[in-house]
Structure 1
Amino acid sequence: MEFATVHSILTVILFVGFVAFVIWAYSKKRKKDFDEAANLVFDDEPKSKEQETKRESDHE
């Protein structure tokens, strides 16, 4: 095999892998997981004053 043929085959394989990855990332099955990951930043915020007072009483 020539170098150009190997290079072409590798390019096609990488392109197919990229397309498969994009389809996987944007599939509806993954939406819930990605939404949860996007909201992880806000998990450390207290949800209400009641929970905040409960946390303070637990630390005492």
Structure 2
Amino acid sequence: MHCLGYGSHIRQAWRDAYRAYDRLETARLPGTPLITTGSKAEGLTRLYESDWDRLYVVRGIICL
């Protein structure tokens, strides 16, 4: 990954940026926490490189 320009410090910066974005979106939509998942959460893709996998946590719902 380092040879492709995705060193560990770059991947960590992208992970931190997506977490900060999740916090902002969660604050904008109170009651529905948002979590970025997939390759973006791992810092492997940039903003417009791939699809955006998100997990919306809906309180009061139980999945069986």
TM-score normalised per structure 2: 0.37
Q: Which has the higher contact order (CA 8 A, sep 6+)?
A: 2
Q: Which has the higher strand share?
A: 2
Q: For the pair shown, which has the larger CA radius of gyration, 1 or 2? A: 1
Q: Which has the higher helix share?
A: 1
